[in-house]
Chain A
Amino acid sequence: MKKTILSLAMVLAAGVLFAQKKTTTSAVINFDATTPIDALPKAENKTVIASLDTKSGTVAFEAAIKSFTFSNPKIQEHFNNKGWMDSDQFATATFKGSITNLKSVKFNKDGTYPVDITGDLTMHGITKTIDAKGFITVRGKLIVANSEFTVKLEDYKVNGGAIAAGKVSKEPTIKVVAEFN
Chain B
Amino acid sequence: MKRYKKWLIGLGILLLAGAAVIYYLFTLKYDDTATVKADYTVDAINFIKEFKQDMAAANKKYSEKIIVVNGTVSAIEMADTTANIKMIDTTNGAYIIFAFQQQHLGEAKTIKEGEQVSIKGSCSNGAFSSILEAEYITFKRCAVNK
Residues on A lying within 8 angstroms of B by beta carbon are 23-28, 40, 44, 46-47, 49-51, 60-62, 64, 66-67, 69, 71-74, 87, 91-92, 94, 177, 179
Contact = CB atoms under 8 A, between A and B. Distances in A.
Contact-size category for B = 20 to 34
B61 interface: no
Contacts of A62: 127, 129-131
Contacts of A177: 79-80
Contacts of A23: 131-132
Interface string B72-101: 000001011110101000000001010100
The 9 tightest CB contacts between A and B, nearest first, are A26-B77, A66-B124, A46-B99, A46-B82, A67-B124, A47-B138, A67-B138, A26-B84, A47-B97
A28 B80 contact: yes
Most buried by B among A25, A62, A66, A92: A25
Nearest to B31: A73
A49 B136 contact: yes
Nearest to A77: B64
Contacts of B25: 72, 74
A140 B26 CA distance: 45
Given A61-B131, A71-B29, 20 more contacts: A25-B86, A25-B97, A27-B79, A28-B82, A40-B26, A46-B99, A46-B140, A47-B139, A47-B140, A60-B131, A62-B129, A62-B130, A64-B124, A64-B127, A66-B63, A66-B125, A67-B140, A74-B25, A91-B127, A92-B127
A92 B59 CA distance: 13
Given A40-B26, A66-B64, A71-B30, A24 B132 contact: no
A51 B97 contact: no
A26 B82 contact: yes
A31 to B, nearest CB: 14
B28 interface: yes
B120 interface: no
Contacts of B64: 66
Contacts of A47: 84, 97, 99, 124, 138-140
A26 B129 CA distance: 13
B77 to A, nearest CB: 4
Contacts of A25: 77, 84, 86, 95, 97, 132, 136
A28 B97 CA distance: 13
Contacts of A91: 59, 125, 127
User: Which among B25, B64, B79, B132 has the greatest number of chain A C-beta atoms within 10 A?
Assistant: B79
Contacts of A92: 127
B86 to A, nearest CB: 7
A90 to B, nearest CB: 11
B126 to A, nearest CB: 9
A74 to B, nearest CB: 6
B81 A28 contact: yes
A29 to B, nearest CB: 12
